[in-house]
Amino acid sequence: MYYWRLSGFYFFYFASLGALSPYWGLYLKAQGFGVVEIGELVAIIMATKIVAPNIWGWIADHSGRRMRLVRLACLLTTLSFTGVFIAQGYWLLALVMSLFSFFWNAALPQFEATTLNHLGAETQRYSSIRLWGSIGFIVAVAGLGSLFERTGTGTLPAVLLVLFAGIWIASLLVPERGTFHPAVDNEPLRKVLTKPAVVSLLLVCFLIQASHGPYYTFYSLYLAAHDYSETAIGQLWALGVVAEIGVFLKMHGWLPRFGARNLLLVATLLTTLRWILIALFVDQLWIMIFAQTLHAASFGVYHAVAIHLTHQLFTGRHQGRGQALYSSLSFGAGGAVGSLIAGYLWAGVGAQWMYAAGAATAALAGLIAWRGIERQLQS
């Protein structure tokens, strides 16, 4: 099993996310865009997750050349992102963001399927590989916070270009891994998608990521509006991912011990609490620190459980499209809807209300998980 090669891809991929999520909004603000325009531009990145993973997932499942497609997507991400350096104005930047994010968002779900295929029956070891993505995120978000406080966010595009190139190089080191297709996997995808557990899981994933829309798009701007420095903002982002790493180190034991359904219910409950705290106590640093530790649940536990259940429900030749559907409906559709609504809420009724809406959305996800995720999917 190619532990370090797989881990290297996650490191660079999530380092690019660590540069993009906390600081892209600040970069766009420095370029003169308003909160509604920022919400729309970030929503483009989320929206391409709806389309790209499904197109590339279908090709990968039919061709069997999953890693070849991952390498192509990573190369095209790097090349298309260079357009950011010459794009002037809202519409040109929107076009460039649509193009590069189409390829960037296509790569990860197929690499997730490749990782799980390399792991074989030891899927509980996924978290020990994925944690290197969290480490990459921390390195980027903590290091860039100090850099941008001295230089401003104008160098962000150059940093992202280097990280995208790193993803492509890492993808070249990971070999192809085929998937075993037992006879039961001849079940049509349409039949799989009509199972109540599948419908419930995808709906929960959509709602959880929609509730994160205010966080991923506006958390840095929200903190900056309350006089937090770039360094403090970066440290708070990093703290959340440190907590996430702790979860990934434990998930291989927690899944068989507590069960996927119970862990998902806990994650939705703590996600709801997190958004309430951020909405009401943004000026209280110690509460913000505690709220960031809840990222361990709102993303760490949730994501590990979602990957586990998706792999369990979408087997054999449906694995690529299963991971693609998870990515597109949660991080794609959910993230896009959450970002758009958050921008309009901030502009219309204030920033606190967008986090209150996020809390209500996470609570609804918990109710659906409680009613719709079958107990037999526990382990």
Alpha-carbon distance 147 to 286, whole Å? Answer: 24
* CATH (domain of 77): 1.20.1250.20
Q: What was the pLDDT predicted at 183?
A: 45
Alpha-carbon dihedral sign for residues 214, 216, 219, 221: negative
- Count CA atoms within 13 Å of residue 180 on its CB side: 7
Look at residue 374 and tell me whether its pLDDT is greater than 90: no
Q: At what angle are helices 213-225 and 260-280 packed, to 10 degrees?
A: 30
Q: Give me the mean pLDDT over the 163-183 stretch.
A: 79
Q: What is the mean pLDDT of the chain?
A: 87
Q: What was the pLDDT predicted at 186?
A: 58
Look at residue 184 and tell me whether its pLDDT is greater than 60: no
The boundaries of the domain holding residue 217 are: 3-377
Alpha-carbon distance 271 to 320, whole Å? Answer: 28
Look at residue 181 and tell me whether its pLDDT is greater than 60: no
Alpha-carbon distance 258 to 151, whole Å? Answer: 47
Q: Which of 186, 133, 190 is nearest to 8 (CA)?
A: 133
Q: Which of 208, 192, 141, 219 is nearest to 358 (CA)?
A: 208
Largest distance between two CA atoms of the chain: 59
Q: How confident is the model at residue 379 (pLDDT cuts 50, 70, 90)?
A: very low
**Quick one: tokens of 267?**
């994650």
Question: Under a CB-based contact definition with an 8 Å cutoff, are residues 336 and 344 in contact?
Answer: no
For 129-138, the pLDDT digits (tens) are 888 998 998 8
**284-307 in b/e burial notation, b at 16+ Cβ within 10 A?**
eeeebeebbbbbbbbbbbbbbbbb
Q: Which of 10, 209, 179, 2 is nearest to 111 (CA)?
A: 10
Q: What was the pLDDT predicted at 180?
A: 46
In the chain, the number of structural domains is: 1
Phi, psi of 294 (to 5 degrees): -70, -10
